[in-house]
Amino acid sequence: MTQAVAVENLSVVFDDFKALDDVSVEVASSESFGLVGESGSGKSTLLRAIAGLAPATEGTIRVGGREVKGTRRDKAFYRAVQMVFQDPYGSLHPRQTVDRQLMEPLAVHGIGDGERRILKALDEVGLGSGFRFRYPHQLSGGQRQRIAIARALILEPSILLLDEPTSALDASVQAEVLNLLEQVRRDRKLTFIMVSHDLGVVTHMCDRLAVMQGGRVVERLSSADLVAGRIAEDYTRSLMVASGGFRREAQTA
């Protein structure tokens, strides 16, 4: 199996704060890999470091076998790696139509045939061509996240970085977006790296996952192990308990 993304001994330091501390993660191609942890655990920073949005202080990041350095990435990188952000209200340009937002990556990369590609991308994320000339404020949260996914897919990347793609959405809409993501992954044999604080979502979507706490990976395990309760770390277990919902007995503890 070839490696899609390999991160070795990565540290990211902001002033005096160590956001990532000696993190190593390997993701095989066409695998779906999950990153779990609470706020401030560094899971989003890891994703952003891979995308070149956070500066790597130490360590190496290899994408598709090639090492990437600093925060500079070439065009070929962005054709291979795209990202979907958490908040669909913040990640779309409020004054551009869906059509223009989808046209932008094509224009940047000098890809023609925009008309056909935009219609295809909209179709793929389950929105008809009727959505093409709408503005973000005319769309619901779920529809916006679909547009964000369409924008990521329009360049036909091989790796998709997903930063809490459904946590701003309602439970019922979350199911729709997760199904959509699973389907495009199957159809296009994509590699997913998905960040979430919801263990249910991650075990549903990913084969393997890494649990992060305080900028470090505390445990790596497969979803099957997690489901079967083969957990080594207490922290993972506490996340597992937390995702089971509220129990009244918990209050006495």
Partner 1 sequence: MSALLTVEDLRVRFPTRTGVIEAVRGVSFTLGRERLGIVGESGSGKSQTGRAIMGLTPLQAQVTAKRLAFDGIDLVSAPAKVRRDLRGKRIAMILQDPKYSLNPVMSIGRQIVETLRRHEKVSRGEARQRALDMLAAVQIRDPARVFDLYPHEVSGGMGQRAMIAMMLIAGPELLIADEPTSALDVTVQLEVLSILDKLVTERGMGLIFVSHDLRLVSSFCDRVLVMYAGKIVEEIAASDLPNAKHPYTRGLLNCMPVIGADRHPLPVLDRKPEWAL
| Interacting residue ranges for partner 1, rule: CB under 8 A | 38-39, 140-141, 170-176, 178-179, 182-183, 197-201, 203-205, 226-227, 238-248, 250-251
Task: Give the whole-angstrom CA distance, residue 220 versus residue 250.
Answer: 27
**Closer CB to partner 1, residue 1 or residue 171?**
171
**Closer CB to partner 1, residue 118 or residue 212?**
212
**Closer CB to partner 1, residue 72 or residue 248?**
248
Supply the minimum distance, in Å, between the C-beta of residue 223 and partner 1: 9
Contact 203, 191 (CB under 8 A): no
**Closer CB to partner 1, residue 35 or residue 51?**
35
173 phi, psi to nearest 5 deg: -75, -35
**Closer CB to partner 1, residue 91 or residue 174?**
174
- The residues facing 37 across adjacent strands are none
**Closer CB to partner 1, residue 108 or residue 250?**
250
Supply the minimum distance, in Å, between the C-beta of residue 116 and partner 1: 27
Supply the minimum distance, in Å, between the C-beta of residue 241 and partner 1: 8
Task: Give the whole-angstrom CA distance, residue 1 versus residue 15.
Answer: 38
Supply the minimum distance, in Å, between the C-beta of residue 16 and partner 1: 17
DSSP label at residue 60: E
Supply the minimum distance, in Å, between the C-beta of residue 188 and partner 1: 16
Q: What is the DSSP string of 182-244?
A: HHHHHHHT-EEEEEES-HHHHHHH-SEEEEEETTEEEEEEEHHHHHHT----HHHHHHHHHTT
Supply the minimum distance, in Å, between the C-beta of residue 38 and partner 1: 4
In the chain, DSSP assigns E strands to 3-14, 17-28, 32-36, 58-63, 66-68, 81-84, 159-163, 191-196, 208-213, 216-222
Total Cβ atoms within 10 A of residue 53: 15
